[in-house]
Amino acid sequence: MPAVFSANLVDLVTGGISFLLTLMVLSYLIGDNPVFRIAIYIFIGVSAGYVAAVAWHQVLYPRLILPLFSASRGERLLLIIPLVLGLLLLFKLSSRTASLGSLPMAFLVGVGAAVAIGGAVMGTLLPQTQASMNAFNLSTAGQYQLEHLGEGIVMLIGTVTALAYFHFGAKATASGPRRGKLVGIISWVGQIFIAITFGVLFAGVFMAALTALIERLNFIITFLSSL
């Protein structure tokens, strides 16, 4: 009986906190206010604490601190490099010593840029190019070859015209730099494809936000009815 009572009390407390935080976030509907900002500060603080805990338990301690005492001499010498770079980052906390943290920051930015570019090329650009070429592979279309070919043509037109929209070359004229007529028409078609894409993305984001709102409203109703 005490265990059941304790479990019910925990559920009541956690439900009450969730209910309060939900109302604090929804208070933004009436405008920016201190209650909403408190909820945002709590969210940011909890997120930062969670990230710090994950970084310590899954990266720093098992892959840096622990190997410094248990790994071989060669491995420990290699671990000194990330240890020193990590310590240099702490100098960014002060404006007087911030220059000492420029080296690890440059290393992080360079590695991050390389990973982002590599991921974009290998994970997006090349697969999308391959998918565009596969759209014209009628051997896999079966009896729907005409529809498959039409989808490929639309995809090709959308890709080419969208890329042409970001072509910023222009010829110098008396009234200022202007694009060629052909490039202007192609980029106008690309603008239509881009607008349709952004519209679909916005609709997806809106539906996700609306789903989250419905879930939170349902939680409020359920919590109030359980009291």
Cα 37 off chain centre by: 23
d(CA 52, CA 54): 5
Give yes or no for a contact between 190 and 183, defined as CB atoms under 8 angstroms apart. no
Q: What is the pLDDT of residue 141?
A: 65
Q: Is residue 3 scored above 90 in pLDDT?
A: no
pLDDT tens column, 60-88:
888 888 888 887 888 888 888 888 888 89
Q: What is the pLDDT of residue 131?
A: 77
Q: Which residue has the tokens 């900002």?
A: 37
Q: What is the pLDDT of residue 130?
A: 82
Average pLDDT, the chain: 84
Of the segments 61-65, 115-119, 132-136, which one has the largest average pLDDT value? Answer: 115-119
Position 125 confidence tier, pLDDT thresholds 50, 70, 90: confident
Q: Is residue 5 scored above 70 in pLDDT?
A: no
Q: How many residues does the chain have?
A: 227
Give yes or no for a contact between 60 and 83, defined as CB atoms under 8 angstroms apart. no
Q: What is the pLDDT of residue 78?
A: 86
Q: What percent of the chain has pLDDT over 70?
A: 91
Give yes or no for a contact between 27 and 33, defined as CB atoms under 8 angstroms apart. yes
The answer to whether the predicted template modeling score (pTM) of the entire model surpasses 0.85 is: no
d(CA 223, CA 71): 53
d(CA 150, CA 136): 9
Q: Is residue 153 scored above 90 in pLDDT?
A: no
Residue environment code for 22-58, b if the CB has 16+ CB neighbours within 10 A, otherwise e: bebebbeeeeeeebbeebeeeeeeeeeeeeeeeeeee
Q: What is the pLDDT of residue 7?
A: 61
User: H or E stretch including 98?
Assistant: none
pLDDT tens column, 163-208:
888 877 767 666 666 777 787 888 889 999 999 999 999 999 999 9
Question: For residue 187, how many other CB atoms are within 10 A of its CB?
Answer: 20
Distance linking the first and last C-alpha atoms of the chain: 20
Check residue 121 and report its DSSP letter: I
User: Is residue 171 classed as helix, strand or coil in its secondary structure?
Assistant: strand
Q: What is the pLDDT of residue 185?
A: 85
Give yes or no for a contact between 101 and 88, defined as CB atoms under 8 angstroms apart. yes
Q: What is the pLDDT of residue 181?
A: 78
Give yes or no for a contact between 129 and 156, defined as CB atoms under 8 angstroms apart. no
Q: What is the pLDDT of residue 177?
A: 67
Q: What is the pLDDT of residue 6?
A: 63
Structure tokens at 147: 């529809």
Q: Which amino acid is at 157?
A: I
